Amino acid sequence: MSSPIAKVWTFPSSSNPSKTYETLLYTDGSTSCNCPGWTRRVAADGSRTCKHTRLVDQDRADAESLSHKDYAGKGGVTKAAKEATKPKSPKSKKKEEESTDPMSKELNTLDKVWESKRKITWK
């Protein structure tokens, strides 16, 4: 079951002025759009994004949309909900993997030891 809709924006098409697209923000912080960019492109991890959903994530959608409607009232979507649904960057994924892998922890410790030994200068 999907989450209730918190807010809807209407954006003009950049290629055809007679077309408009709707971008939805759900109460759990996730977004969707009916533009070709969102409906046709899927990242390797299964996530989707388009220029309209990125505007929502950047809090610029109100200024750049033709219109918007708030369905959530004052409660809206929490920042924590937005952060939880944002795709993780490759760096944060790597850090997450390293923190759970015991061998990586051991190698990181060895790297720190070598770094500290390199700082010693011989006179």
- The 10s digit of each residue's pLDDT in 43-59 is 999 889 999 999 999 99
Helix (H, G, I), strand (E, B) or coil at 8: strand
Find out whether 39 and 53 touch, Cβ atoms under 8 Å. Answer: no
pTM above 0.75, yes or no: no
Domain boundaries, the chain: 5-87, 88-123
Confidence of residue 18 (pLDDT cuts 50, 70, 90): very high
Confidence of residue 74 (pLDDT cuts 50, 70, 90): low
